Every structure is written in C-alpha cells, then in structure tokens.
Amino acid sequence: MDLFSPASFGDLSLSNRVTMAPLTRVRADAGDVPGDVVVEHYRQRATVGLIVTEGTYPTQEGKGYTGQPGIVTDEQVAGWKRVADAVHAEGGTIVMQVMHAGRVSHTEVTGTDRIVAPSAIAIDDETRTPNGKTAYPVPHELTTEEVRQTVQDIVTASKRAVLEAGLDGVELHSANGYLLHEFLSPVSNVRTDEYGGSPAARARIGIETATAVAEAIGAGRVGMRISPMHNIQDVAETDLADVTATYEALLNGVAPLGLAYLSVLHAEPRGELVQHLRARFGGPVVLNSGFGVVTDKAEAEELVGGGHADAVAVGRMVIANPDLVARWQGDTELNEPNPATFYAEGATGYTDYPTLETVSN
C-alpha cells in the first residue's frame, strides 16, 4: 500500500489514505448550526482521502462544549447539508463523528437539567462553561432503559447525518473519555446491570450501537473510533489484561457487521495491543499516534507502507495545511499550526491558512 493510493472502506471511496482526524474547533453559529465559516473550512480540506468531522452531538444532553455543532434540529441538519454539498463539489468524502459527551459536560453547556453517564461518578477536574470554569457535576446514572434510548438517539442522529444531511457515513465516537468510552472502563462504569461488570457487559452498548446504526444506514457507511489506554478525562484503563479482554469483546461483537473502518488512537500504533486489535477487527484500520507528537509525512508513509495501517488520521498538520496531500506529495514547505487559534472564534486560524495556490499567486 502507498499513502497516496486510493482505497475503498466499505461504501466509502478514498482518493488517498490521508484522513482528517476529528477536530473539535467550536465554531458553530447560534443554535449550534454549522455556518459559512464551517462550510468553508471543510471545503478547503476536501482533497484528503476522508474527512471525519468534529464530534457532533446526537442529543442535547450529549453536548460537551459551547460552540460544538449538533445534528438534532432541522437547522443543524441543513447546516451540515451545506458542508456535505461543499465537500462533494470538490470531490471529497466526508463522515460525521457522532459524539455523545456523557459526563464530559455541564448543565450550563447543555442547557438541560442533568448530565448523564454510565455511573454517578464525576470527573475530578474543572470544565469551561459560558460562565467560567467550574467543577464537573456528578452525572445522572442512566437507567437500563435510558441506555437503550441513548442507543436509539445515536441511531436517529446517524440517520439524519446520512439520509437527510447527505454525509457519506458516520464515525461512532467510542474514545477519549466520552460516553461510549466511559462504559468500557471499570473505573467510570461500576454498573451492576447488563451494561456493567464484565468486559463483555461493558462492551455491550458499543456493540448494540454499532449494530443498530449499521442496520439503519448500512454497515459500509459506519466507522468506529477507539482509544484504548489513552487514560484521558478520568477514563482510566491501566490493567492490560482487562483492556485486552474488553476491546476483544467489543471487536468480536462488531467485526461480523462489516463496518467501513476502525479508527484507533494510541501512542504506539505499531505496538502489540493495537496490531492485535487490528487483526481482531479484520477490516480497514485507520491509525492515529495520539496527541503527543505531530504526525509527519515520514510516519504516515511508514504506517501505511509498512503494513501497520490502511490509512492514517492527521490532525494538526491538516489544520494548518488545507492542501496537505499536495504538499506531502510535492515535498513542499508546510504551514505551522497556531495552537492559540485552535479553540477560538471566526476565520482566524481556521480558514485563513494559505494554500500552495494562494502562495504562488
């Protein structure tokens, strides 16, 4: 395989194997609607093989951040349709990362009466709200029936993303300490019903969600993102034996579905755990080496060319270089990302990075 060769992941057609990692940028307009600047941001980056959008909330209780877009209201759907149309007009492929934040939120952010999670255990930290920083609240422990309803909420959001907004698929966010990931860890999930306890029980909601979404929009349009042992936002996974058993259970449950791809965020993408899980999944796998280092061309080429991954997810370099694929192919100079503008407002640091075309003109 070559980094710049085309690929088919289920029903998704990729022009190359550079994918845009899901990147929270909190630029949504009023009503959490993707507006003009968001449309332009994704349009500019349509030459990557696959765009995965920022995490998009499927229900108001699942909103994690001020400025985060949703896929709940008709206005939000219409905004995402504009994004999808713009990317498709440039020949690109785009999927929505559907993300329920779970306990990684606050009622001042969601505007709801509660925050929800697998168990009533708060994150020992502070979060940013429109009124300033404050401690994370103790979440409401979802009842068994509410867990099942949450699965259906994610199904509904996925159908709206694909069947109404016209995106090419969805990525189920089961990573980075958000709701589906919270269920996987015995630290954040101390339930005693069918969704807690054993590795298989903790993996149940992820399997049920993937199965239901695949039935609703087609398995070939569904990806899943995981981050085993990332240990972020108080979702601790430190026991290798338990982690292996839990993620084996998850992948044993979703592998027969024939999903489009599995995306894995891990500091050691070539390591034994990741490659074991890749083999267990049995389908296309996108690797991301994590937040610690910036993914450069050499690493991306080695991961794909060395047979470790079918594609590579790239974050910061895609933020700074809308035409990253052309720059990597031509070994041309790269723009440097400006972290001060990652979580800001407006076009600065979002749609104003120069392309090779603008520089030459």
Query: Which residues carry out catalysis?
Result: 178
Classify 270 as helix, strand or coil. Answer: coil
Backbone angles phi, psi at 169, to 5 degrees: 175, -170
Fill in the DSSP letter of residue 70. Answer: B
With vertex at residue 323, the alpha carbon angle to CA 317 and CA 324, rounded to the nearest 5 degrees, is 35
Q: Which residue in 181, 249, 183, 258 sits closest to 214, CA to CA?
A: 258
Within a 10 A sphere around the Cβ of 78, how many other Cβ atoms? 13
**What tokens does 303 get?**
């991961």
Is the Cβ–Cβ distance between 335 and 44 less than 8 Å? no
* The residue count for the chain: 361
Give the bridge partners for 232, in sequence order. Answer: 235
Q: Which residue in 97, 92, 6 sits closest to 41, CA to CA?
A: 92
Is the Cβ–Cβ distance between 12 and 48 less than 8 Å? no
| CA–CA dist 153, 146 (Å, integer) | 10
| Element holding 129 (H helix, E strand) | strand 126-129
Within a 10 A sphere around the Cβ of 150, how many other Cβ atoms? 23
